[in-house]
C-alpha cells in the first residue's frame, strides 16, 4: 500500500509523525481527503480532528485549526495546538468546556469577549470528541 509522510507540528514541537495511507480532515472549505500522490496544495483548517489511516487502522489527532500543506508525498499540518487522541486529558477539556459555557452565559451582562469564549468551547468539545474517537 502506498504511503505518505505526515507531520503535525506546533510551536511546542512535533506532535505526530508517521507514514500513513490516508489523511482526512476539515478544511475551512469543507471535508478534505488526501491520498499519496495528491497534488500540492495549502488549505486552512477548522478546529477539528485529523483522521489518519496507518496500517489499516485509524488514528486521531485533535487540532485547533492551522494550515495543511501537501507537497511531494509529504503532508505537513501546522497548528497552534494539537494532541493525539490518547494524550488528551478529558477532565481538563471538560473543565475548559464548563468555563467557556459559563463565560458565554455571562456575556449578556458583562462585556466578555464572545468570540474568544466560543473558540475555547469549540476546542474543548473537539478534544472531548477526539478523545472518545467520535469524529
Ligand atoms: P485550557 O483552558 O484547558 O488550557 P485551551 O483550549 O485554552 O484549554 P490551548 O491554548 O488550545 O488550551 O492549548 C494550550 C496547550 O495545552 C497546548 O499545548 C495544548 O496541546 C494543551 N492542551 C490543552 N487542552 C488539553 C487537553 N485537554 N489535553 C491535553 N493537552 C491539552
For residue 105, the domain's CATH number is 1.20.5.440
- Residue 59 Cβ inside 6 Å of ligand 1? The answer reads no
Specify which residues 33 forms β-bridges with. Answer: 24
In this structure, which residue's CA is closest to atom 14 in ligand 1? 81
Give this prediction's pTM. Answer: 0.94
Return the ligand 1 atom nearest residue 93 CA. Answer: 27
Has residue 135 got a pLDDT over 80? no
Number of domains in the chain: 2
Residues 14 and 36 in one domain: yes
For 54-108, how does the pLDDT look when each residue is reduced to its tens digit (9 = 90+)?
A: 999 999 999 999 999 999 889 999 999 999 999 999 999 999 999 999 999 887 6
In the chain, count of helices (H) and strands (E)? 2, 8
Residue 133's pLDDT is: 85
What's the pLDDT band for 134 if we cut at 50, 70, 90? low
The Å distance, Cα 104 to ligand 1 centre, comes to: 19
Domain range holding 118? Answer: 90-131
Residues 79 and 94 in one domain: no
On the 0-12 / 13-18 / 19+ scale of CB atoms within 10 A, 11 is exposed
Residues 113 and 50 in one domain: no
Residues 17 and 79 in one domain: yes
| Arithmetic mean of pLDDT, 111-117 | 81
Task: Give 95-103's long-range contacts (Cβ < 8 A, gap of 24+).
Answer: 96/120, 96/123, 96/124, 96/127, 97/121, 97/124, 97/125, 97/128, 100/124
Amino acid at each position: 500500500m502506498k504511503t505518505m509522510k505526515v507531520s503535525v507540528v506546533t510551536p511546542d514541537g512535533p506532535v505526530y509523525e508517521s507514514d500513513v495511507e490516508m489523511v482526512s480532515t476539515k478544511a475551512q472549505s469543507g471535508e478534505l481527503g488526501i491520498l499519496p500522490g495528491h497534488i500540492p496544495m495549502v488549505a486552512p483548517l477548522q478546529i477539528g480532528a485529523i483522521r489518519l489511516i496507518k496500517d489499516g487502522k485509524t488514528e486521531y489527532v485533535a487540532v485547533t485549526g492551522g494550515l495543511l500543506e501537501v507537497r511531494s508525498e509529504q503532508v505537513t499540518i501546522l497548528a497552534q495546538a494539537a494532541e493525539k487522541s490518547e494524550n488528551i486529558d478529558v477532565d481538563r477539556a471538560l473543565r475548559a468546556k464548563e468555563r467557556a459555557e459559563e463565560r458565554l452565559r455571562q456575556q449578556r451582562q458583562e462585556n466578555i469577549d464572545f468570540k474568544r469564549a466560543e473558540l475555547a468551547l469549540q476546542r474543548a468539545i473537539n478534544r472531548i470528541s477526539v478523545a472518545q474517537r467520535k469524529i
